[in-house]
Amino acid sequence: MPSTHVSLHFHLVFSTKERRPLIADAWRDRLHAYLGGALHAIQAMPLAIGGTADHVHLLVGLRATHRLAEVLREIKGASSRWVHETIGAPGFSWQDGYGAFTVSGEGLEEVRRYIGAQEAHHRVVTFQEEYLSFLQRHGVEFDERYLW
């Protein structure tokens, strides 16, 4: 084939250090917008960004040349610096790890709606319950001793 065609979509999830509620309502939308800009800067496509005070969800389209770990390192680092420099929250940091789950083209709209409904979703489900559900549904092996 003379061209390369890929559909690489990921549902990314990562939390604040120790899942502390550090993302204030007053600047949460600005953080989400900044994350979208950070993705654009590395030529990734933000499709949806949402979350609560202790974690974020991103639906992202990646290029064939992207390396997932590098994408996460870049956007987490850039957004953490932004929070320190722009918001002035010196205690802010992201947890080291992350969740990355593939999404088919047919599943994009469902994940987009899910990310958009995070506030309502987390009135009844904790982040830990949600994340365990993701791991189990996607068949990801884990040792709960090292999960949190």
The distance from CA 77 to its chain's CA centroid, rounded to whole angstroms, is 13
Q: What is the pLDDT of residue 107?
A: 97
Taking the domains of the chain in order of start, what are their residue ranges?
A: 8-146
pLDDT confidence of 140, banded at 50, 70, 90? very high
Judge contact between 39 and 74, C-beta under 8 A: no
Instruction: Note the pLDDT tens digit of each residue in 55-93.
Output: 999 999 999 999 999 999 999 999 999 999 999 998 999
Q: What is the pLDDT of residue 1?
A: 66
Rounded to the nearest integer, the mean pLDDT of the chain is 95
Rounded-to-integer distance, Cα 59 and Cα 11, Å: 5
Quote the DSSP letter at residue 1: -
* 121-132: average pLDDT: 93
Residue 26 has pLDDT above 70, yes or no: yes
Q: Pick 8-146's CATH classification: 3.30.70.1290, 3.40.1370.10, 3.40.50.1000, 3.10.20.80.
A: 3.30.70.1290
Judge contact between 41 and 71, C-beta under 8 A: no
